[in-house]
Structure 1
Amino acid sequence: MSDGPPRPPVRVALAEWVTDLPREPGLAYEPKFDGHRMVIFRQSGDVVLQARSGRIVTSAFPDLVAAARALPPGTVLDGEVVVWTGGRTDFAAVQGRAAATPGRAPGLARRLPASYAAFDLLAADGEDLRTARYDRRRARLVELLDKVEPPIQAVPATTDPDLALTWYETLPRIGVEGLVVKRLDQPYRGGRRAWRKLRHTRTRDAVVVGYTGAPERPNALVLVVPDDDTPFVSSPLPAALRARAGAVLRRLPPGGEPGSAVAPGLGEVAYQGVPPALTVEVATGTTRHGVVAVLRLKDA
């Protein structure tokens, strides 16, 4: 372990997808919440919040900044921000929170308060813990957060694969999309897919943050998925979806800003932003490397 806590930005640890529950000895299992990846830095002076991409999002979450001041200085947490609506996590709501301007953020915090599910401890008491084993980091995380009130809490974890399977089968109704599996002896490996992730289906939800082409019949949608705040461009929409998406986009309130995002095979392309109010179901792929096809619009 090195001296001094890590400072923003840090590269976060990643997970590769698996299709079956790993059961070899020496594993821990955590529920995977449908939220927005965030690293909390409790520094000596104040709090800094970092998204997975490295973007600083402190001003968008004043409620979490206030809660994180209860952490001891020199603490760095990795975890997931979630917003609960109707008894389940709401990714569109949390993406709206993440995109809020400083002027709108306090009002959104009152209407859609955020919770933070911490799943790793990168530093404590000013000491960098990333080279420590997961089980030691986990024990210190639980001990530290036992002294902290919600909305910052540790995610559940177990070494019992049968209990993990029960979580996997019963928790989707509240917005848990699967499990993350970690080796007990594993250090924290930022930027590497050293963890494993088991999801329920080959599809997932994404939030629309923009479009390419004409608003009446967009060519493609620009999307953000849980655990990754980097926008990406879908594959071209089928004709029927283009018409329906255009009808929905026309009903959205103004406020989106132009931007650029990666489109498979094309590189960076320009897009028109929209408020994050529309959720779509997409076929699996990875947001950074694969083609992602929009299957249907949800709640529209």
Structure 2
Amino acid sequence: MKPALAEPVATLPRGEGLAYEPKFDGHRILLFTIDGSAVLQARSGRIVTAAFPDLAEAALALPDGTVVDGEVVVWTGGRIDFAAVQRRAAATPARAGLLARRMPASYAAFDLLWERGEDLRPAPYERRRQRLTALLEPLGPPLQPVPMTTDPELAATWFETLVEAGIEGLVVKHLARPYRPGARDWRKLRHTDVHDAVVTGFTGPPARPAALVLVLPDDDTPVVSSPLPPALRSHAGRLLAGRTAENPRGAPRTATAIGIGEVPYRAVEPGLLAEVERGTTRHAVVTVHRLRDDLINQV
């Protein structure tokens, strides 16, 4: 199932019939309950149930035929830790249980698409929100609805104060609109378009990579950065030395490069973050500002 999407905006939308939610930076996950089992689907369509056994177990408390849209996050020291949730998402089945105990995940739910076999996507957001809170509030963590308000002044306060907890902005929705998979009906307002991203690979020669392959917050699909400047290429080569990972299936890995399409790349082991800037257009170029060697091996 395709999730609904959001279009970036530069100022806080105001007007009648709007709802505001904090924007969490984690992994977008659709959670399904089917015949007594839970299935977790990433935004790309990849099934990631095995990577989050703690959430899959918690989801069994939901009735069959339920689909929830939300964000998987990991909290560290009272702040959202994107590097930690990426490590959880990339875990092998053999390590997933250990990481779940060390870095338990939370599911920040923001929409209810199906409940007990009833398709709620045509219903207005206001009704879906009421059903979501009624469903999840009796359960409590790790499944919980995100906060929501219709007061733009309170939303503005959230925007200014929640950044310390790793909340990067707001998502704005119309109370009367349905859930439209794949459509950009929502709006998102960010503090900045500079983020930490996980380096998962590179293109070009290992000693001087031409570009980095990155996983950005809120999306598990690897993307290729814009070309690295010469000094950063040399630095990346030194930091990535010895980190190349083999593909167990033998087939080359590919990632999306804006303006080019799918390109092959060499994968690397987790352990390096990059500070990146992504444009605010739908197909935005990702520019690497620096490599977070101060945080190396913490992913």
Q: Same fold (TM over 0.5)?
A: yes
Closer/same/farther in 2, CA of residues 274 and 233 from structure 1, 3 Å limit? same
CA shift digits 1:143-179 (9 cap, x unpaired): 0001213111000000001110111001111110100
CA–CA distance in 1 between the matches of 2:133 and 2:140? 12
SS at match of 2:159: helix
Structure 1 residue corresponding to 2:207, chosen from 209, 216, 236: 216
SS at match of 1:40: strand
The aligned residue for residue 102 of structure 1 is: 93
SS at match of 1:104: helix
The aligned residue for residue 271 of structure 1 is: 265
CA–CA distance in 2 between the matches of 1:34 and 1:291? 19
The aligned residue for residue 289 of structure 1 is: 283
The aligned residue for residue 225 of structure 2 is: 234
Structure 1, unaligned runs of 5 or more: 1-9
CA–CA distance in 2 between the matches of 1:266 and 1:184? 38
CA–CA distance in 1 between the matches of 2:129 and 2:97? 32
CA–CA distance in 1 between the matches of 2:271 and 2:100? 16
Question: Aligned-pair distance for 1:201?
Answer: 1.3
Asked if 1 retains the 8 angstrom alpha-carbon contact of 2:8 and 2:280, the reply is: no
Higher strand proportion (structure 1 or 2): 1
TM-score (norm 2): 0.93
Structure 2, unaligned runs of 5 or more: none
CA–CA distance in 1 between the matches of 2:11 and 2:224? 29
Structure 2 residue corresponding to 1:245, chosen from 227, 236, 256: 236
CA–CA distance in 2 between the matches of 1:104 and 1:242? 32
Asked if 2 retains the 8 angstrom alpha-carbon contact of 1:27 and 1:159, the reply is: yes
Q: Kindly, what percent of the aligned residue pairs are identical?
A: 66
TM-score (norm 1): 0.93
Count of paired positions: 290
The aligned residue for residue 48 of structure 1 is: 39
1:1-300 pair list within 5 angstroms: 10-250=1-241, 252=243, 255=245, 257=247, 259-285=253-279, 289-298=283-292, 299-300=295-296
Amino acid in structure 2 at the alignment position of 1:283 = E
Select between 218-227 and 199-208 the one with higher mean Cα deviation: 199-208
Asked if 1 retains the 8 angstrom alpha-carbon contact of 2:8 and 2:281, the reply is: no
Over aligned residue pairs, what C-alpha RMSD do you find? Answer: 1.6
Asked if 2 retains the 8 angstrom alpha-carbon contact of 1:217 and 1:245, the reply is: yes
The aligned residue for residue 5 of structure 1 is: none
Amino acid in structure 2 at the alignment position of 1:266 = I
